[in-house]
A = this chain, B = another copy of it.
Amino acid sequence: MFLFFSTECSEQQAILSPEESKHCVRVLRKKIGDEVLVTDGKGRLIHGIISTLSKDKTIIDVKSIKEYPPSEKSLHLVFAPTKNISRIEWMMEKCVEIGIHSFHPILCAHSERKVIKPERLNKIVLSAMKQSQRFHLPKIHELITLNDFIRNIDDSAKRILCHYEPGNIQLKDIDWALENYVLIGPEGDFSPEEIALLKKSNFKTCNLSNSRLRTETAAMMACATFNIVS
């Protein structure tokens, strides 16, 4: 069944935004009295009945609510957006399907892309959450510099840097913590100064694969690895 998203959910009602309402009326051709599923993106799955319906606002009367707890361990993916934004859009869609907690786009010395469109990326992430029937909406953080990212990272989290060096541990053999930040290099890789800074900031380097992966493949592979072995 199609899953709607609403930021206005109470114990009694869920209200759909104009965008979700349009989809409800025009694409899915729902009618008053129809049963629907709604999530608030915070772990709640609401089963309800449409009581008011228009292309601007839809009200759903709640019949039952089921709470899904967040996964015990969280993956925070830190990456430099690629020059060709569609590669990052694709990667984000796939990571949401596979399972991820948040995205941290960063600016590195070799970043070719300095701007992203958060609205478009939020739409992709929301759509992937609904499509894969997940009930926790991953957060997309603001694009900030690598330096600012390092300054703000919380102290208790595990810090992992995917950067090939002979003799490194493999990502799949990492001892995962509850919160895990995994860094993927930009298309031109991190600069030697950035690598030095990250190591000084307690990032543990690890190898992701024996072959050379594109940055978006590396990000997706890191997410797959976390979900398979953590």
Residues of A within 8 A of B (CB): 90, 94, 97-99, 131-134, 172, 209, 211-214, 217, 220-221, 224-225, 227-229
CA distance A224 to B172 in the complex (A): 11
Contact B220 A99 (CB under 8 A): no
Residues of B within 8 A of A228 (CB): 172, 224-225, 228-229
Contact A217 B133 (CB under 8 A): no
Which 5 pairs across A and B sit closest by C-beta, in order of nearness? A224-B224, A132-B211, A97-B217, A133-B212, A132-B212
Contact A209 B172 (CB under 8 A): no
Count identical subunits in the complex: 2
Residues of B within 8 A of A90 (CB): 90
Q: Which of B99, B209, B214, B220 makes the CB contact (< 8 A) with A211?
A: B99
A134 and B211 contact, Cβ closer than 8 Å, known pairs A224-B225, A225-B228, A228-B229: yes
Enumerate 12 A-B pairs (CB-CB under 8 Å) in ascending A order.
A97-B211, A97-B213, A98-B217, A132-B211, A132-B214, A133-B211, A133-B212, A172-B228, A172-B229, A209-B227, A224-B225, A228-B229
Q: A224-B228, A228-B228, A228-B229 are in contact. List 19 more A-B contacts (CB 8 A).
A: A94-B217, A94-B220, A97-B212, A97-B214, A97-B217, A98-B211, A98-B213, A98-B217, A99-B209, A99-B211, A131-B212, A132-B211, A132-B213, A132-B214, A133-B212, A134-B211, A172-B229, A220-B220, A220-B224
CA distance A18 to B78 in the complex (A): 41
Residues of B within 8 A of A209 (CB): 98-99, 227
For residue A134, which residue of chain B has the nearest CB?
B211
